[in-house]
Structure 1
C-alpha cells in the first residue's frame, strides 16, 4: 500500500516537473501547477501514514492528506475559470469566496475538535474512524465539482469552434475521473469497510489518472500555450484570413476570413503547393515563393494570388507566411490572406487614382493647416484674457515659477507691479458695463504700448493688472511705473453718443527684488504668494494715500 502511494506521488511529481520545464510559465500555468500541487499532497500524506507507527505523526500525515484533498476543490474551480476564459483575472473578493469553503474545512480537519474528523482505533491511526467533518468535506468538494461542471457545460454550449468544444469536453471527462475514484474509495473503504476488504490507493489512482488526462488534453489542444492564447485573441479581431501552423505544418487554428474555396481543415497538414494550385499565380512567382517556403522557414515571405470566378471577375489576395518564434526557437508559422482586390482596381485605374490622391493630399494639407491654426488659437485662448488680449493670471503664475527660480539662481533683479483702475465702480454705474469693459480694454492697450518687449502684462482679475519686469532694478522699475501711471492718466477713452471721453487713473503697488545673495527657495509657489501679498499691500497703501500714485515697499 505504501509503495503504491509512493509510486503515484513520484509520478505526479514527475508530471509537475515536466509541465514546469516544458512550458513558458503564464498565469494559466501557475493556476494549473497550484491545482497539481494540491493533487500531490494526498499520496504524499498517505505514504507518511504508513511509514510510521507513532500516532502523533500519523495524524499529521492524515491531516496533510485531507487538507490537500479539501483544497483540491478550490484548485479545480480556479483552474476551470481560467480554462474557459484565458483573460479571467479574479478580484481579491472573488478569490476569498472561492477558497473560503476549502479553507474552513481544512481548519476543521487540522483542529479535529472532539475527534469530529477522525479518531483512533486501538490507539493507532492505521485503523481509524471518521466523523462528520469528513462528510462536510465530501459535501464541499461535491459542491465545487458541481459548480465547476456547470461552468464547463455552459462554456461547451456557447462555443462554436470544434477545437474549443473538444478541449472543454476533455476537461469535463477529467473532472468526472477525479470525482469518481475518491467517491469509489469512500464507498468501498469507508462506508462498506466492515464488510469488504480495503482496496488501497483508489483516490491516489484517480488523481493520477485525471492528471494524466489533463496534461494530455492540455498538450493536445495547447490550451495553456501563451502563443496560442495571444494568437486567438488577435485572430478574433482580424478581418484578414489567417491560418496557424505548428512546426510540422499541421493546421492548429484558422479564422472565418479563410475562403471556403481553400481545401484546408483544422488538424490536417498544409501542403503549400496544393494550396497555391487553387489560385491564379504567376509561374515564376510561384516557384520563387515555394523555394523560399521550403528552404527558409524562418524568413517572412509573401506573394500575390488571385481567385478567378469568371473572365471578368477576380479576387486578389496577398499571401504572407511568417514564422512564430519564441525564445529564439521557431514553433510554427502563420499564413495570412489579405484581400487587395480594391487596391488592384485602383492600380488598373492609375491615372484617375493619382489625380484623386493628389486632391486628397491637398485637402489633407489644407485640413492640417486649419487644424494647426485652430490649435494655435486654442493655445492663445488658454493663456490670454478674452477682453483685453493680455496674458491671464494662470499663465503669469506658470511663467513666474520658472522666471523667479532663474532670477534667484543667477541673482538677476526683477520687479512686480500690481495696479487697478481707481473708482472703477463709478464708471460702471455712470456709463454702464459696456463702457466699463471698453475702459478696461483701452487701459490695458495703453499700458501694453508703454512696456518693453520683455515685460509681461497680465490681467489679475476684474480691473486689476500685474506687470512683471525682468532684469529691472529699483530705479528702472520706478521710472517704468511712473510712465505707466502717466500714460493711463493721459489716455482719453471715447464713449460715443456725443459724450465727453472718459479718463481714469490707476493706483499701483511695486515690489523690487534685487538683493538675493542669501536666498534659497524650497517652495517657489509659496515664495510667489509672499511676493504678491507684499505688492498687494503696496497697492492698498497707494489707494489709502489718495490714489493715482505708485507705492514701493
Structure 2
C-alpha cells in the first residue's frame, strides 16, 4: 500500500534529479546557475518528501519529510516570484528590502511548522489520512496563493510592456509553467485534502505539476540561452564599465542601469529618468535648447553632447560626454533609448595641455622660422657682398669671371652670339685730384647707375677694377652691342653730374668684342681664353683713349648702298686671342 501511494512522488523525485543533472551537464556554472540550483533544489524537495512520507516505515523520517514538504511547497512561492523577477529584471527589479519582505512569510511559517504541528493537523498517524485541517493551514494556503498571484501579475505586466518579442515569448512560457503548477497544486488540495474521505486519493499530482513547470523553465533556459555564459559575461562587462549605461523605455522609465551609472546620477530601475535635470547640465544654452528639442521631438536620432557635473563643492565641474541612441525591437519599432555617460575630464585636461604645448611649440616654431628667415637674409646678404662691389652695387670681377666661365662655353657650343663691352672713365685721376676721392666715388656710382638702367636682365655688369667696368651680354651680336655702346657714350656725356654746385663733364672710352656663332675651339683652359677675350676688349678700349677718348673701338661701319656691316675688326681672332692669353699669363 505504501509503495502504491508513493511511487508517483518517487518517480517525480528522480525525474527532477535527472533534470537537475541535465541542466548542469550542458551549461557552464555561474552565479545565475546557482540561483537556478537553489530553485530546483526546493522544487526537488517536495517530491522527495512525499516519496519518503508514503514509503518509509520510520516515524521520524516521515515526520521530517512532512515538515520538509510543507516548507518546500511554501518556499516555492517566493522562489517563483524571485525567478520571475530574474527574467523581468530590466523592467521590474527588486530591492533588497523588497526581497526580505517577500521571504518574510516563509521565515515566519518555518518555526511554526516545526514547533507547533498540532496547529496544522493531527500528525499522530502519518501519512495524513484523517487529520483535521487547522486554521493556520488556511493562512498557509493564502500565503502560497499570494506568491503565485504576485509572480503571475509580474509576468503579465512584462508581457504587456516587453520591448522585444523574444522576452514576451519567454515570459509566456514561464507563465504557462506556473499555471500548470498552480492547477496541479489546487487539484491536489481539493481532491486529497478538502474532499478527503469522499473520493479516492490521487497521489503525486503536485509533484507532477512541479516537474511540468520545471520542464517549461528548462525549455526557456535552453531555447533562449538564458544561462549562456556569453550573455552573462556581456552583462558583467557592462556592469564593470566605468561609463554609465542607462536603458529607458519610450516614457523615460529606467529599464536597466549598470553599476557605473551611480557615479554620475543615483538612478534606480523602474523610476523616471530625470532627463530635464540631466540636459539642464549642458553649459551652452543654445546647445541645451537644441538637444532638448531633438530629444523630445526626434527620438529616432542619435545625440551627442557634453554636460558638466559638480561631484564635489568648491571643485571644478567634471566634463561628461553624453551619447543617446535609439533602441528598436525585432520588428524595427522604436521602443526606447540607450544613454551612455563617459567622464572625459582627464581627456579634456590632456587635450588642453596638448593644445598649450602645441601653442608653445607653434610659437617656438615661429621664432625658429623668424630666425631662419633672418639667417637666410643674412646669408643672402653675405652672398651678395661676396659677389657685389660695395661702392657701385655692380658685380665684382670674381663673379664676372665665374659667370663667363659658365656661359661662354654654352654659347660657343650652341653657336649663340655674345658680346663683351669694356669701358673706362676718362680722366678719372684728374677728377680724384681736383675734387677728391669722395667725389670720385660718387662719379663711379653715378656712371654705374646710368649703365645699369640701359641693360637687359640677362646682361652681367661688373666693376672690373678701379674705374673700369665690363658688360657681358649673352645672346647679343656685334651690331646690338655696338648700338648699346653708342647709347652709353651719349647718355654718360649728356648726364653731367652736379657735385658741390658744379657740373662735371664725365665721358668714357669703350672697347668691345663680339662672338657671332662661328666654329671655335676654346681648348681646355676656358678661363685663359676668357681673360684673353677681356684683354682684346681692353686693347680696343685703349685704342679709343689714344684716339681722343669718349669713343668706341673698333668702330662699326655700315655702307649706305647695301647696308652690309663690316664686323671683321670686332670679331675675336683665335690667333690674336691666343697671343693675348700668353701676355695675360706673363
Q: Same fold (TM over 0.5)?
A: no
TM-score range, shorter chain: 0.3 to 0.5
TM-score of the pair, normalised by structure 2: 0.39
TM-score of the pair, normalised by structure 1: 0.41
| Higher-Rg member (1/2) | 2
